[in-house]
Structure 1
Amino acid sequence: MCQIGAVKFRDGEPVDSFASLVKPHERLNLFEYEKHTELHHITKSDILEAPEWPEVLGRFESYFVEDLPLVAHRAANADAKMMREDCILYRMPMLENGWIDTWALAKELLPNLPNHRYKTICKHFGIDMGSYHQAVDDANGAGQILLKLAQSAHADDFEALEYAWNDAKYNVSGRFPDDLVSYAKSHERDTPNKWLEGMHPTVKKGDACVRCGKEIGDDASYTARKSGMCGTQCKAEALKQAKDLASVIKNFRPISTHYSIYS
């Protein structure tokens, strides 16, 4: 890491900022490749007299961030990851603040965008990016994205935004049958097989299969009939859909990711 920037928001408006160059740890040769300088326009000479990470983090934690949540785009793969790696190098604890990843949030709340890159979302919301890859401007952009996402979710506060986020795990329209999604939403702790059995009453010979409409015959297994279906093929297809939906729900990442190193 060679720079850090943050913007503090209050009532939807930026009210303060923090910025500092950072002298990289001696084990990190960040300026070995020209692409690093091309990315953020910071040269090796710029950071020769810059403070090292422990001093910068100390000032950032004590005088700026306090116990507020940290917001970043691709937090887990970029900002939080780099901060965590520097803390490991210096054998110091990572900030205990929660993280909100606007990339993950946008991916769930804006599923119809072609991608969820920082530039794409800024363009979608009409956000002025400032100088791209300059820490304070990027921080301000992430904050503006969070505000726009909250507005799009009709969330007036963090609690409402978290509710919208948690509800977004079921934003799978067109991918799974509506009745399956609705049932899973209210019976999330049950197994996929229990979903199917709970959705439909047990059928008997002569009844119609809830999946294909065919008449239940003598060859229908009890397991299939217990889920309202005519045979193993219908049951297998329905169970695969239910398991796929369960996987989506299980792998849904929470809004706030907490990192703790050497605590």
Structure 2
Amino acid sequence: MDFIAMDFETANRQRASACSLALVVVRQSQVVDSFYTLIDPEVPFESQNVRIHGITEAQVAGEPTFPQVWPHIASFFAPTRLVTAHNSPFDVSVLKRTLERYDMAVPRYQVIDTARTAKRLMPELPNHRLDTVSAALHIPLAHHHNALQDSYACARILLAQEQQFGDATLASMLKITA
């Protein structure tokens, strides 16, 4: 299985306020690489978001803006590429809104949501949050809401689901971004 696990954190309630991004690259069902960056969202932070992820305006001062990051990661988002995220509607919309904010083309790519797959394949869980699913699958998640840690957990969830339920089951849950 080849895919990219993606996670964003945002500065505020606006989806176009990405302040950190992580990608975990999986090839032949093995984690082979990762990418993490803080991003200067060029917008104010809200205290609620800072409480969740711990990233402050001071920490992103001088970090690259999204238009500076995009050329390094754009190739991961192509129609033939599979991207996963836990609660993918959030992360997909952060990417889309951020690209739109900077008048950049929004790519089409395949998406599978590990929150959705967990709801369907693991209905016995009390909820399907990233930390709950990770714990149920014995996947370490030491720093929830750290984009890199969340991306690794998401990648491991999809790999565990592939092993337990098979490619065909997961393939039925793929979506193409709009």
CA RMSD in angstroms, aligned pairs only: 1.8
Cα distance between partner residues in 1 of 2:109 and 2:141: 25
What does residue range 146-161 of structure 1 map to in structure 2 within 5 Å? 146-153=158-165, 155=166, 161=167
1:119 to 131, 135, 151: 131
Give 2:23's aligned amino acid: A
Residue 87 (structure 1) shift: 1.2
Question: Which structure carries more helix by proportion?
Answer: 1
Cα distance between partner residues in 2 of 1:84 and 1:259: 9
Residue 59 (structure 1) shift: 0.8
What does residue range 159-178 of structure 1 map to in structure 2 within 5 Å? 161=167, 163-165=168-170
**Secondary structure in structure 1 of the residue aligned to 2:49:** helix
| Larger relative contact order (CA 8 Å, sep ≥ 6) | 2
Q: Render the CA deviation track for 1:153-204: whole Å, top value 9, x for unaligned.
A: 1x2xxxxx2x2247xxxxxxxxxxxxxxxxxxxxxxxxxxxxxxxxxxxxxx
How many residue pairs match? The answer is 160
Residue 65 (structure 1) shift: 5.9
Partner of 1:37: 50
**Which runs of 4 or more aligned residues in structure 1 lie more than 4 Å from their structure 2 counterparts after TM superposition?**
64-67
1:16 to 30, 33, 51: 33
Partner of 1:257: 175
- Percent of counterpart pairs with the same letter? 28
Give 1:4's aligned amino acid: L
What does residue range 144-223 of structure 1 map to in structure 2 within 5 Å? 144-153=156-165, 155=166, 161=167, 163-165=168-170
**Secondary structure in structure 1 of the residue aligned to 2:108:** coil
Residue 112 (structure 1) shift: 1.7
Provide the TM-score with structure 1 as the length reference.
Answer: 0.57
Structure of larger gyration radius: 1
**Secondary structure in structure 1 of the residue aligned to 2:31:** strand
Is the CA contact (8 Å cut-off) linking 2:86 and 2:114 kept in structure 1?
yes
Residue 137 (structure 1) shift: 1.0
Residue 256 (structure 1) shift: 2.2
Partner of 2:69: 56
Residue 57 (structure 1) shift: 1.6
Give 1:89's aligned amino acid: R
Residue 83 (structure 1) shift: 0.9
Residue 36 (structure 1) shift: 1.5
Q: Please identify, of 110-119 and 134-143, the stretch whose mean Cα deviation from structure 2 is larger.
A: 110-119
Partner of 1:83: 95
Is the CA contact (8 Å cut-off) linking 1:3 and 1:19 kept in structure 2?
yes
Q: Against the structure 1 CA distance between its residues 65 and 80, is the aligned structure 2 distance closer, same or farther, given a 3 Å change threshold?
A: closer
Is the CA contact (8 Å cut-off) linking 1:127 and 1:144 kept in structure 2?
yes
1:68 to 65, 70, 81: 81
Q: Against the structure 1 CA distance between its residues 127 and 101, is the aligned structure 2 distance closer, same or farther, given a 3 Å change threshold?
A: same
Provide the TM-score with structure 2 as the length reference.
Answer: 0.82
Residue 16 (structure 1) shift: 0.5
Question: Which structure carries more strand by proportion?
Answer: 2
